[in-house]
Structure formats: structure tokens, C-alpha cells
Structure 1
Amino acid sequence: MDEESFREFLPTSFGGGGADFDPAAQMESVRRKGAGLPEPKAAKSASSKHGGDSDEDDDSEDDSEDEDEYPVSHEIVFKTHDRPVTTITVDPAGSRMITGSTDCTIKLHDFATMTPNTLRAFKSVDPTATKSSANTETHPVHVAKFNPNSPGQVLVISATTQAKILSRDGETITEFVKGDMYLRDMNMTKGHVSEITSGTWHPRSYDHFVTAGTDSTLRIWDANMRMKQKDVIVHKSRAAGSAGRSRMTAVAWGSQVEGGNSLLVAAALDGSLLMWGGEGPYHRPSGEINQAHASNTWTSGLDISSDGRLVITRGGDDTIKLWDTRKFKQPVNTTSHTSTSSQYPTSNILFAPNSSSIITGSETGDLYILNPATLKPEVVTPVTPGSPLISVFWHDKLNQIITGSANAETHVLFNPKNSTKGAVMVMSKQPKRRHVDDDPSLTTDMSQGISADAIVVPGSGNATIQGSTYSSRHPTIGLTASGKSRDPRRPHIPASTPFSRNQPDEQHIKKSIPLSSMREEDPREALLKYADKAEKDPMFTKAWKATQPKTIYADLSDEEDDGPEKKKQRT
């Protein structure tokens, strides 16, 4: 082989780099195209060259300004859940995203490790799974929020009575106590006695958060005290037929620019909207509106502006209302907006990071960006047409809008001009080169573990390979069915028997179940073993042993072997 052929044979570079990679073309490939979106500048310039008048040029300039103002020109899509995405949160640095769903799991995504063709979660966690020998209980996830003052903590609220704090890696740090459901006075219970619907962190304190429950209470917790809440706020409903109680549907905790006390606002199912000073006391609300929204409608969206002066609510009565905290009596503005809270009770509405806009989703799958002064839409762009848009999130540092929909998709909207990191960083990377192990027909997806039915036992006569035979030969290698690693330090898991998949083996029964050996023993023989001991050392009649009378039986003669003569019956 000559020198020139040898150079052609050797690779010119190693790793993921390549000379044919075009970052600009890759970024352009994720540009959104649809109604309500401005056209690319290249298309605009081409149309202006072919006889476009001055009015069209002015419109093009306005569209380009809108494109630069809102990060909605490009998007990437995550399909990591199986059911509707109900909550989204991103840590303050913008490096990790967590999504929750009605499939009872939260998914952890790391922007730094993803490439355009590896848009997937690196970990899946079920925060409410409680495993026993009989069943596994899971619950939908309502809220997942990073602590703005301590990014290592994530508040997770599911359809249970107990809130949890997880680490940024999905490990449980604290699980808070459940209240006593038999106590009538809610001030005396140490935790919620029914399902928690919402919750949020304190805007400045790193170890305080509040939860709202269907037991008509708000409870303020200290992250360092899991056995009892710090304060209890009991809402006494005035609605007829409510018996003084009403479900709390949403809660928000905001700060004020002037540096004063924080602000705590909550909504209830009876239509009331309540406000307290965030630092207490909480004996009586500083502001209360009884019919803020229609009674018996679920107010799912609630948020406070960054300066603490405005409150936005999205009610189940198909309205969006803006309130002024300084004149907390009548709404400043109202607009109609179809509600999705009856089917998706976590449908939210949020202020933009600088409070210059308001974002929310719709039942048609459109993203609405509203003007906070008039509540009129400035941008309406389709994200998941035909599938309701449930959860929205606008990250201030990334300047990217993240949405979760009923079709289990998570969309990250951005603009390469004014967005940083996050999706921009992902789309700036070269796609990962596919390896032979990336072929799904040649490998097994281990992200969710291996089902017991997919393991082929050697010698079973099954000629079809349904799973990894390596895992069947090495049961301590890989993942369990729940997605956790098989740690050799874990206790021994009983082997399956031919009689039942969940029936443990004989050795496991003898070690784990007391007196299990009596299962196969004759009860008569088991009792007769203690006959002599019961006669010599009685347990229950030992106190009267010295005074017990001697049992006297009648003596039978040889002639009376069959016993005493029986009386003859009359004929």
C-alpha cells in the first residue's frame, strides 16, 4: 500500500467531530413552522425582492421584532412520558430539567449530556412507590419544583397526603408526616389528612415551603422538621352546604420589590381567593374575595408578579382574571379562556420572569402569551394541535419556554438569538454517532428494567430469545424491574417457583416466616408432645396444684368390661 492510500485509509479525526457538520443548518432544522409564527428572514428577503411593497416590508420588520422578543422560533421535543405531562421545573442554573406526569413518574433530563439524536431522560423515578409483597402503589405527580434558594432540593407533591423533598438526582431526602384523619380540628393534626393539590417554595428562605390540600388547609413546613408542620392555615368556607370546609386548589408564594414581607395567595374550590402576609401571623387573611371565580369550579392556575403587586388566576369558569394586591376587591381585568382544569387540575398560568408577559396553555394545544395590562394575546402559537397544553414554564436564565401536553410530549421553545444554554447548547452539538449497540433490534432497552417474562431460563426449551440471557445467568447484574440497580448488598430475593410467580421458595419461608415448619406437621402429634409437660408442670392451673382434688373413677370388674349395665328401654 502506498503512502497516499494509507492516508486515505486512516481517519482524519477521532471522536464525534466531523468536517461535514454544519451547526447553522442543524439549528435551522428545528425552526418551527406554523400559524402564528414569523417566517425566516431568508424567506422574507426573497419575497421583498419580488415586488413586495413598503407595507409588507413594515410587517416583516414587526414580525422579526416579535421573533426576537419571544423565544418561540425554534423547538425540540422530548417524548419520555407515557401519559400527560402535568408539571415542569428547571434548576436555577438551567442545567437540569424535571418533568412529572400522570404516569406516576418524574423524569430527569440533563441538557449538558444530550445531543440532537439523544433527547431522552437519564433517569426515571417513581416518588410515591410503596412496595410490599402483594402490590405496588403509585400516584400521579401534581407538582415538582426546584428550590430557588437551594438547587439541590426538589419539592415533589403527588396525589397523596405526604409531600416529599428529593435530591436533584431523584433520591428521597425527606418524607413529611401524614396527619390523623380521625381528628376533627385541623389545627391539631400534624400533617394533611387528605390529598395535597399544590405546593411551592418560599421565595427567599431556603428551608420553608407551603402545601395546599383538600382538607381545607394550607400548611407551612420547615424542611428540617418532617414530623410536624410549622404553621396551619384553616380556610373556613362561607359557601352554602360546605360545612365550613372547601378544597384548596392552588397556592403561590411571592416576594415584594420594596423588600417587605412576602405574599401568600391561595384559591379554594368555593371560588374564594385569599391573601396573607407570607411571614405571618395567619389567624386572619389580609384580603379575601368570596366569589373571585364561580363556586365549585377548580381554579388551577395562580401566580404572583415579580414585584408582588399583581396576581393572575385561571379559573374553572373559563376566565382569566388579573388582581391588584393593593386593591384586593375587584379584578383589574378579565378575559375569557377555555378551562382544562376539570380534566387536568394542574393546568397553570405564569408571569414571565420580568412580569412583562403572561403565558398559559389552551385546550387546543396553543401557547398563549398575554399582555398583563389588557390580557389580550400578543402571540398565539400552536405547540401540540389537538392535544391540550397543560403545564408551562419560562426560565429566566435560559430565556426558554417549556410546555407539557396531554399527548405526553415536552416541548422546549427557544430562540438562538436571545436564548442561552439549554436547548441551544443541545442543538449546537454534533449528533452522536450510532454504534452497533444503539440498534434496538440487537440490544435490550434497560431504561425500565427487564420483565420477568422476558428472561429465558437455560434448559426451559424455549427456542425464542425474548430478553437478555446474560441477565438470566447473572441475576445480580443490571437493573431490577423497578429500574434500580442490583446491589449485591441488598437482601436475597426469593426465586420463583413453578407453582406461582410470586410464591417464594421453601428456604425463604423457613427463614422469614416464624413457625412456618408447623404447616406440614400433624396437629394431634404436636399437641401430644406437650401432654407429659402439661401434667407435671401445668401452666394455667399451677396456682391450685396443691389443692386440686384427686379424680376418682369407678372401678370396673372383669365381668363389667363393657361398662355398667344400661337401662332397658321401654317397649
Structure 2
Amino acid sequence: MDSNNTEDEMTNDGDITSVMGFSGFGKKARTFDLEAIFEQTRRTAIERSRQVLDDREKEIEVQGESSSLVVTQKDAEKAAAASKKKDTDSSGSDSEPVDPPPHGEEEEEEDDDDLVGPPLPPGYKDGAPQSDSDDEDEDGQSDEDDEDDNPVKKIPDTHEITLLHGTKTVSAMALDPSGARLVTGGYDFDVRFWDFAGMDRALQAFRSLQPCDCHQIRALQYSITGDRILVVSGNAQAKVLDRDGFNVMECIKGDQYIVDMVNTKGHTAMLNDGSWHPKIKEEFMTCSNDGTVRTWDVTSEKKHKSVFKPRSVQGKKVTPTCCAYSRDGKLIAAGCQDGTIQIWDRNLSVHTKFHCRQAHTPGSDISRICFSYDGTILASRGGDDTLKIWDIRNFKKPLNTANGLTNYFAMTDCCFSPDDQLIVTGTSVKKDQGNGKLAFFDRATFQRVYEIEVTNASVVRCLWHPKLNQIMVGTGNGLAKVYYDPVKSHRGAKLCVVKSKTKVKHAEALAQEYVITPHALPMFREARQRSTRKQLEKDRLDPKKSHKPEPPVSGPGRGGRVAAHGGTLSSFIVKNIALDKTDDSNAREAILRHAKEASENPYWVAPAYKKTQPNPVFAEDSEEDEEADKEPEWKKRKI
């Protein structure tokens, strides 16, 4: 009986679940059979490896069939010698039996032989005749090898585009890591944003702003992620902008009355340079005329992270003019105003790790220092018209020096090529005294292997982007030039030169549109539009719309309108005054000129009193008035 009840309950539950549309209450935990999974994986791997082996065996069989057709003379000699040796062994001599060689030993001996069979006839290679195209391929490959050996052929300078920043010096320039956007800053306080993918042949910047008011832009740089821009200007506070130019943070200004710069929270004098950390995206560095190099964190703008103080031989304060991180971010280098280069460990801010006294002429500002991509070489551009490279492992003497590179700017650049074989820098010229050049030096020999005449002004900034393989140059006359090669370069300037200029859309006078509102009330509903002819006939019956405009006035004028002497009443009056030939230089004579006519024919006052007072009666002075006139001014009664 109980069993029947349980069966009925189970059937009822099944009916309920089928009607309600669910299979059970709650979810069950999934179980995995690991052994079955491993077994399935093993079988799949065995099948794949077996398929690969079968394919290889098929290739070997095909090659064996083709090679078996050629029977060489040496193989025949070896086979004859082996058969002869076998006959002597089977003849029953007194010598000990010789064991046969193990399987595969004979094949190894054959492989050891360099030449198998007679030499191939001329014109054949690997069993097949060699065509002229193979020779051409070899020549092309040799040319490519020569190009790899010659770094000058890698310079992308066959084409160029010119971006007009302004009329003053382009003193700062930066490219984002992807190479999609270029930012330029100059002495005209402007920062301009250029988007290569969005520009056409007009080459116009899509945004221009003045982030630091009326301060010259000294340095610009994108962060490693490309979403922030460091702006270093002539004031004491560096700014960080986002990708579209909106303010993210502004460094705090320090207290200029504190002697020890370590105890202040920020810079107290004009900034000279700045740089982002190559590994940490929130950290950047600035150097200032207050004699310090400070590191900052974007998340905390109220105080710097650490302070580095360059010192002279006597231990006095020295002004850093440029600064840079090493490629791994562990070292901080600063070029100073006294010609020294000082390098600190990023985590030890007191003593320098490397220090070179008189790296450049004392008193000359070092305009730029740059680390090579391998991290062992440091290039420095000095105000003494030199370019030097240093090995930081032996930092006492420069490896090579180039002289005669004129430098008039405090931010003249130098940089390494993407393959680290060339060093690039710009030269300065005075106005209308030659062309500024971009000089290329071989890193090994330090010979000037190439140069580009940019424009008739100084070359200040230069960048060689490793991904785009394009060179950006900022000049002293407000131009930013981009050099590229259609074959060797990628994207960048190649994207905008292929686009045609967009036509300017002129504002057109739109006719009054007819709006159909089918569900509007009758009082708000507009009449259905008729044909043009009927509408014109209807407008002709309207007195306002068909009113003929008045023709221009001819003659002296009528109805308050002035004749065609001038467009307005004022012009009419001015013209009449100009036509008046009377001389009003003597005012008394001009007034007395009308005295006789005024006495004979009075017009203003006399006609009013002609009937009531034909003879004018004037007031006589009384004694009181005479006494009042004799009184001093302070006693007179005020009326």
C-alpha cells in the first residue's frame, strides 16, 4: 500500500513539473570526471602526432623516389667493395669473424662524406637547372644586405609635409606612443593638437589652446599609455592634460622664502624641462631654475615625491637646464648650467651615482640629454656648439665629440634612430643667414654621414618615432615638418596626404519648409500647399506682398525723405555745411554781420512785445544792487 502511494506521489510530481515548465528546484553542482578528460586529451594528442608523422613520411617517400633515380658512381663502388669483403669473410680464412656494423652506422658514414657522386654540370643547382631569376634574387638579397649595413639608406626623407604652428619658434613637440597624434608648443604660448588620421591635405590642427596663459611652452611629452600630456612652461607649475587638452592636474607652487628647497612642496622658479617615467605611468619629473629636480605623482598634486639637488664642485647650487630618465627608469640624469652632467639613482636622492665635471664648456647650458635604446650610451647637446656621446659605465671622458654645431636655443634637441645606429641633432642659424640643418652622425665612427636642409631658420626640436619611422622637426619660424618614406614609413603622415581637401560648405538660404501636421486642430492647421503658379497669383492679390517699393528720390526731397545727395539726413547736412563758403574765423564779425538786418526786421523777441510793449523798458540799477555788488563774495546771499 505504501509503495503504491509513493508511486502515485512521484507521478503527480512529474505531472506538476511538466505543467509548470521546470525540471527541479534549485541547481545541481556540476561534476567533472578528470580521468575521462585526461584520457580524451591524450587520445587527441596521439591522433594529431600520428597525422603529422604520416605527412612527414609521405614527404620523405616522395623525396626518396626522386633521389633514387640518380645512382652515383661512388655508391656503386661502395656496394662492390662491401660484396667483395663479404666473399672473403665467407671463404673460411683464419681471421676472426667480424661483427656486422650496427644498423644506421653505414648511413652515418655516408652522411659524413662531403661530396657524393660526380660534380654537377655548370648551370645546375640542387639537381635542377638554375635560371637567371635566381641570379637576380641573389643580387637583390645582396642589395638588401648592403642596405642593412648602411644606416643612411634607412633615413625616411624622400617626402615631407609642413604643419603651420604659428609665426614664432616651435619650442616643444611630442608624439603619442602609437603615433596617431602630434602636439606642438611654441613661444606664442599656444599648444596645437594634430591628428594624422583626421587631417586632410589642408593640414589643419583640430585644437589650439593656451594651457599656461602667457608663458612660453618649454617641453611637451606624452605618457607611456598616451592618455596624458605633460606641459612644462615658463612658470613654476607644470600641468598635466588629458588626450583632448583638458586639465587633469597642476603642480603646486613652493614657498620662495624657504632657503632649503627640500622643505618646499614645489618649484619656486621657472621650469626648464620635464619627462615622464618610462615604466610608471603616474610618475613624471621636472627641473627648474630653483636648482632642483623633482619627481611627481599624478594622483597627489599637493606635494612632490622626491627632490634631487645638483651641486657644483664647491657644493653650491647649480641650475639644471634639462633632465631625462634612463630607458629602464632606474636613473635620473640632469644637464646643468655649469656644463656638468649629474646622474642619480631614482631611489637615492642625496648623492649622485655618476658625475662628470666639465662635460661641456663651463657656463654653457646643456640643451638636451638622451639615453640610447640599449641604455648604455648617453648623448648630450651643449650650448658650446658640440654634440657628445658618453658611456655611463666609463663616465669620465666622452666616446666621441662633434664640433661646429651652432646652438642658439636652450632646448635644441638630439635623439637616437630606432636602430641605435644614428644620432640626430639640429643646427641654428641667424635670421637670413643660411638654412638650418638636421645632421645625422654614425654612432660608431661619429662621422657626419647625412644632413637635411630644413628651412631658412633654426632647427630646434627633432623626433624620430620608432613605430612610424618618421622624423618630426620643429623650426624657429613656426613650422613643424614631418619627413617620411612611402615604403619605409608606416601610417602617420601617409594617412593625411592621400585625402583630398574638404570643400567649405557655404550657408544656404533655405526656403520656408511646409510642415504637415495631420492631427492638429483646425485653428493651428496650415493650409495645404498649392502649386507655385497659384501661390504667386494669391500673393499678387495681397496688398502687402504686392506693394511696389518706392523709387529713389530725385530733387530736393519730399515726405521726410532726403534726395539723392546722400543716403542719410546727416550726410545731407554735412554736405550743405561743406558747401557754405562763409568764413567763420572771426566770431564777432560773423555775428555783427546780421545786426543791421536784425534791428530792421526783428524775428524772435521784438514781435512778441510789439502790441503790449512797443517801447522796451529795461530795469535800472538801484542803490541796493550797487551796495550788493560792493560786498565781498562770501557775504553775498545765495539765491
| Distance in 2 (alpha carbons) for counterparts of 1:70 and 1:180 | 48
SS of the residue corresponding to residue 322 of structure 1 reads strand
**What is the deviation of 1:337?**
3.4
The reply to whether residue 276 of structure 1 matches residue 328 of structure 2 is: no
SS of the residue corresponding to residue 262 of structure 2 reads coil
- After TM superposition, the structure 1 stretch with the greater mean CA deviation from structure 2, 366-375 or 212-221, is 366-375
| Distance in 1 (alpha carbons) for counterparts of 2:333 and 2:231 | 20
| Distance in 1 (alpha carbons) for counterparts of 2:147 and 2:228 | 42
Query: 1:357 is matched with which residue?
Result: 422
Aligned with residue 247 of structure 2, among 162, 167, 172: 172
The reply to whether residue 296 of structure 1 matches residue 363 of structure 2 is: yes
The reply to whether residue 251 of structure 1 matches residue 323 of structure 2 is: yes
The reply to whether residue 192 of structure 1 matches residue 267 of structure 2 is: yes
Contact kept, 8 Å, 1:254 with 1:306, in 2: the verdict is no
Percent identity for Structure 1 against Structure 2: 32
Aligned with residue 156 of structure 1, among 214, 231, 236: 231
Taking the TM superposition and a 5 Å limit, the aligned residue runs for 1:450-461 are none
The reply to whether residue 432 of structure 1 matches residue 502 of structure 2 is: yes
Q: 1:161 is matched by which residue type in structure 2?
A: A
Offset from partner CA, 1:50-77 (integer Å, 9 cap, x none) = xxxxxxxx9xx98997775111110000
Query: 1:470 is matched with which residue?
Result: none
Structure showing greater relative contact order (alpha-carbon pairs closer than 8 Å, 6 or more residues apart): 1
Higher-Rg member (1/2): 2
Query: 2:302 is matched with which residue?
Result: 227
CA 1:426 to 1:65, structure 2 compared with 1: closer, same or farther past 3 Å?
Answer: farther
The reply to whether residue 127 of structure 1 matches residue 199 of structure 2 is: no
How many residues align? The count is 359
**What is the deviation of 1:215?**
1.1
Q: 1:288 is matched by which residue type in structure 2?
A: H
CA 1:128 to 1:63, structure 2 compared with 1: closer, same or farther past 3 Å?
Answer: same
Offset from partner CA, 1:15-42 (integer Å, 9 cap, x none) = xxxxxxxxxxxxxxxxxxxxxxxxxxxx
SS of the residue corresponding to residue 487 of structure 2 reads coil
| Distance in 1 (alpha carbons) for counterparts of 2:287 and 2:148 | 42
Aligned with residue 418 of structure 1, among 488, 500, 512: 488
| Distance in 2 (alpha carbons) for counterparts of 1:346 and 1:294 | 17
Query: 2:178 is matched with which residue?
Result: 93
Offset from partner CA, 1:121-143 (integer Å, 9 cap, x none) = 111110112xxxxxxxx100000
Query: 1:331 is matched with which residue?
Result: 398
Q: 1:249 is matched by which residue type in structure 2?
A: T
The reply to whether residue 146 of structure 1 matches residue 194 of structure 2 is: no
Offset from partner CA, 1:102-129 (integer Å, 9 cap, x none) = 001110011111111x201111110112
Contact kept, 8 Å, 1:88 with 1:100, in 2: the verdict is yes
Q: 2:373 is matched by which residue type in structure 1?
A: S
| Distance in 2 (alpha carbons) for counterparts of 1:120 and 1:185 | 47
**What is the deviation of 1:380?**
0.5
Q: 1:402 is matched by which residue type in structure 2?
A: M
Contact kept, 8 Å, 1:315 with 1:339, in 2: the verdict is no
The reply to whether residue 381 of structure 1 matches residue 381 of structure 2 is: no
Offset from partner CA, 1:444-476 (integer Å, 9 cap, x none) = xxxxxxxxxxxxxxxxxxx9xxxxxxxxxxxxx
SS of the residue corresponding to residue 425 of structure 1 reads helix
Measured on the aligned residues, the alpha-carbon RMSD in Å equals 2.2
Offset from partner CA, 1:298-325 (integer Å, 9 cap, x none) = 1102100112100000111111111001
SS of the residue corresponding to residue 496 of structure 2 reads helix
The reply to whether residue 81 of structure 1 matches residue 160 of structure 2 is: no
The reply to whether residue 107 of structure 1 matches residue 189 of structure 2 is: no
SS of the residue corresponding to residue 383 of structure 1 reads strand
**What is the deviation of 1:157?**
0.2
**What is the deviation of 1:369?**
1.5
Please identify which structure carries the higher helix content. 2
| Distance in 2 (alpha carbons) for counterparts of 1:374 and 1:250 | 26
Query: 1:317 is matched with which residue?
Result: 384
**What is the deviation of 1:235?**
1.5
For structure 2, the residue ranges without an aligned partner over 5 or more in a row are 1-142, 429-434, 509-566, 568-639
Aligned with residue 344 of structure 1, among 385, 409, 424: 409
